[in-house]
Structure 1
Amino acid sequence: MPINIYADEIETPVLLIHGEKAHSRYFSEDVYKKMKGNNKELLIIPGAVHTDLYDHMDVIPFAKIAEFFKTNLK
């Protein structure tokens, strides 16, 4: 099931991370807009493409991910 169909039903915290130049960036932006509540965040990584977030350790926002988990996984 595509997440965008049910995005407005998600109640748990969500962190969406996408590269600025990723071909699928629109997907996270659309889902983010559809989600309700204050427990959502969209993080766009400047200059990154989709695969940069898989294998370029210097591009992956590890600190932000850890902060998000620490704040929201209680």
Structure 2
Amino acid sequence: EFEGGEVEYTSGTVHELTADTHPIQREFYDFYRTPRGEFTPASANPQITTHPTLTSNVKFMNFYPFNDIETISPRPMLFIAGDQAHSREFSEDAYKRAAEPKELVWVSGAGHVDLYDRVDLIPFDKLTSFFNQHLSA
């Protein structure tokens, strides 16, 4: 790509649903492929939205955000996740690895992308109290 080769795209959210579409892909489709969350700048190709490039995928696959998570302490960490999220195990793992002070909040009935935009599910009271407690001057 750097030398002018064609850009190759990989994985990402499916562009149409079928009877066999996996439930996680259905959840992501509901956000990224509908007006709820789709966004493609006029200059971009909508077929590549959420599709990483083959060359950038290497960095993504080698990035592990929990390395050294315990070193964030003593700064407080708040984890908020949907109790129905397919990624629930990552929140549990991050919370387990993090040092104190830390809090984990499960949002009942929420999936992975629900907390992106479903304001009725986002625990704003918890966010407000956490930041008021830990960001005071």
TM-score of the two chains, using structure 1 as the length reference? 0.90
Identity %: 45
- 2:70 corresponds to: 8
Question: Residue 109 of structure 2: SS of its match in structure 1?
Answer: coil
What stretches of structure 1 of length at least 5 have no aligned partner?
Answer: none
Aligned residues: 73
Shift of 1:64: 0.5
Say yes or no: does 1:62 pair with 2:124. Answer: yes
Shift of 1:2: 2.6
- 2:98 corresponds to: 35
When the two chains are superposed, the root-mean-square deviation of aligned CA atoms in Å is: 1.1
Q: Which 4+ stretches in 1 moved above 3 angstroms? A: none
User: What residue identity is the alignment partner of 2:106?
Assistant: I
Say yes or no: does 1:44 pair with 2:106. Answer: yes
User: What residue identity is the alignment partner of 1:25?
Assistant: R
Q: Quick one: distance in 1 between partners of 2:106 and 2:90? A: 12
Q: Deviations over 1:1-42 (max 9, x none)?
A: 4331111211111101100011111111101111122x1001
Q: Report 1 or 2 for greater relative contact order, CA contacts < 8 Å, sequence distance ≥ 6.
A: 1
The structure whose residues are more often helix, as a share, is 1
